[in-house]
Structure 1
Amino acid sequence: MLSIEHFYWVLAAFLAYAGWRNLQQRRYAHAAFWTVIAALFAGGDVVLRASKAGDALPAQFAGGAVLVLALLATRMRREPLNEAPESERLASALRLGHRLFVPALLIPALTITVVLAGPHLFFGGTPLFAPTGMTLVGLALACVISAIAAIAVTRQPPLRAADEGRRLLDTMGWAALLPLVLATLGGVFAASGVGESVASLVSMVIPADNRMACLLAFAAGMVVFTIIMGNAFAAFPVMMAGIGLPLLVQRHGADPAILGAIGMLTGYCGTLLTPMAANFNIVPAVLLELDDQYGVIRAQAATGLWLMGTNVLLMAWLCFR
């Protein structure tokens, strides 16, 4: 049975390779950073099983590793590494043409295929895919198959894929971890009762009996929390626990499916406006070598604000029908 743990091992192997290559180039902070993350991915299942069994020691080691990562991140320099000359890359692009898009398009296509067909696939009575985390398993499998397809399309040696992946990883630096860390932060906020605190504060500031006021507070909260934390996944559990469920769904009868879907999209408006979403807004500026590191944010700020207003109108129209 294929589960997400198998792909964690694949990811751990890639991160260990990135650490080894940096060690060869005497980039010691980078080497240590990726090696520690590789160890966390490889040993994550051990930590989880030990925690369920009541043994806190592995979790404490994992927490210590996170603190080490924070210290190492201060020593890392985000800088582009050498790549093939522009003339060589242009000649390759002209030779391959639209076939270059095949590996990228395979990722969403295969992910959707696994999500839809995975529960019905068996081998000798055993499911091919673990029933939990089917979407993540599909995405991980799609990425592996897409990498193989890219090797076949470009006719490059397999190690070239690892080298190019490592080059992009080192170019992004510690910012590559932001989606994972910020999504985890949202879970921590929700578990620590931040949502309940938000609900009490909102009830003190706005009239809770006015559904439009609650809706505006929910939308603005999604955007502001996303701007602060850089990730709508981190903002969503907090705002749903604080405003969405108790005020909009339970008190005013909003449709939870519509509220959740459009509410998450509203949070993405904040993603367009914040440097905290470094993997979306700062890293592309570095990769494209833009003169203005905030140029991406400036270009999409108007879109984010217009989209936020549109989402509020859609939620007001659809959620309470």
Structure 2
Amino acid sequence: MLVNLEYVYYVAAVFLIIIAGLSLKDTSNPKRMLTAVFWALFAISFAFGKLIPPMYMGIIVIVMAVIAGFGGVRPGKHKQVSDEERAASAAKYKNKLFLPILMIPLLTLIGATLLKDVTIGGLRLLDKSNVTLAALGVACVLAFIAGITLTKQKSIVPVKESRRLLDSIGWAAVLPQTLASLGALFSAAGVGKVIAELVGSSIPVDNRLLVVAAYSIGMAVFTMIMGNAFAAFPVMTAGIGLPLLVGMHGANPAVMSAIGMLSGYCGTLMTPMGANFNIVPAALLDLPKYSVIKAQVPTALILLAANIVLMYVLAF
């Protein structure tokens, strides 16, 4: 295939290595060595994750956790443009500035739907097993090129701005990847089986509505605990979704999975564990720490109730 998901990981690794190099050069950061090591280790996970034995990959993760836990990941000093320069740039490019941003979802959608079966010279264009992620990677690269072409900036400028954003987020930038891995680990450890036994002893499993509610609410609650719906999905689906909804009640797996993930996202709106979604924006905007979560809770509960109804109506 021409665009393998591994190639996307290699691009991410190169990006993170540059971030690590910029962090190392930033003498204003008192923890520049540890910060650079943190991002370099993260880059190694993308570049050599398939080659490194699991035990050593686990050691790398532990080292990253220790660096972050002891405050080793610190923001550096960044050169900021003035408000006047920002206003002048906005006036010059106007709505064209939205082009690179809009390219990402649009090109991802086109790649995942219209180009998923395209072959060139006998080679598949996009990784069949990860077509959406491969298309997303291509879309991000093309948007990057479009952005520097439009603004006529050096290619290092958006990388430096990305570093500024990463510095604002800090170690929480690795949460999606680590929490998704944790969900797979919980699933392999049999947590889903334990949940199935708990649900079976708590509610009448022959009642379809109660099982739908248990799965949807369970996705939201477990996401609140884990901080990410990707971590909750394998556990709740192995415990309730597949054996009870699909196996016993005959639910459509695709509909169940899609709405189940949406139910999990309702939990993301209500937890500080989703730090990169709920805590970091508040910090960037100088808002009270949990103000974002408090504002989102009513919407999350309404959406969760709607998801329960949708799954009950559409999945069977």
Q: Same fold (TM over 0.5)?
A: yes
Unaligned runs of 5+ in 1: 48-57
Partner-residue secondary structure (3-state), 1:133: helix
Alignment of 1:87-102 (within 5 A): 87-102=84-99
Q: CA deviation at 1:151?
A: 0.9
Alignment of 1:191-202 (within 5 A): 191-202=188-199
CA distance in 1 between counterparts of 2:240 and 2:18 reads: 45
Are 1:80 and 1:287, in contact at CA under 8 Å, matched by a contact in 2? no
CA distance in 2 between counterparts of 1:194 and 1:8 reads: 30
Deviations 1:146-198 (A, max 9, x none): 11111122221111011111111111111001111111111111111111110
Q: CA deviation at 1:41?
A: 1.6
1:293 correspondence with 2:289: yes
Match 1:316 to one of 306, 312, 315 = 312
Deviations 1:112-152 (A, max 9, x none): 22223434433332223332211111101110111111112
1:65 correspondence with 2:70: no
CA distance in 1 between counterparts of 2:278 and 2:42 reads: 23
Give the aligned CA root-mean-square deviation in angstroms.
Answer: 1.7
Q: CA deviation at 1:81?
A: 4.8
TM-score by length of 1: 0.91
Q: CA deviation at 1:32?
A: 0.9
Q: CA deviation at 1:106?
A: 0.4
Partner-residue secondary structure (3-state), 2:115: helix
Match 1:106 to one of 85, 103, 108 = 103
Alignment of 1:198-277 (within 5 A): 198-277=195-274
Alignment partner, residue 302 of structure 1: 298
Comparing 148-157 and 102-111, the one that deviates more: 148-157
CA distance in 1 between counterparts of 2:22 and 2:145 reads: 21
Alignment partner, residue 148 of structure 1: 145
CA distance in 2 between counterparts of 1:118 and 1:287 reads: 38
CA distance in 1 between counterparts of 2:76 and 2:251 reads: 48
Alignment partner, residue 41 of structure 1: 46
TM-score by length of 2: 0.92
Deviations 1:246-283 (A, max 9, x none): 12222222232222221211111101101111111111
Unaligned runs of 5+ in 2: none
CA distance in 1 between counterparts of 2:136 and 2:273 reads: 25
Cα separation, partners in 2 of 1:71 and 1:222, compared to 1, 3 Å: same
Alignment of 1:104-183 (within 5 A): 104-183=101-180
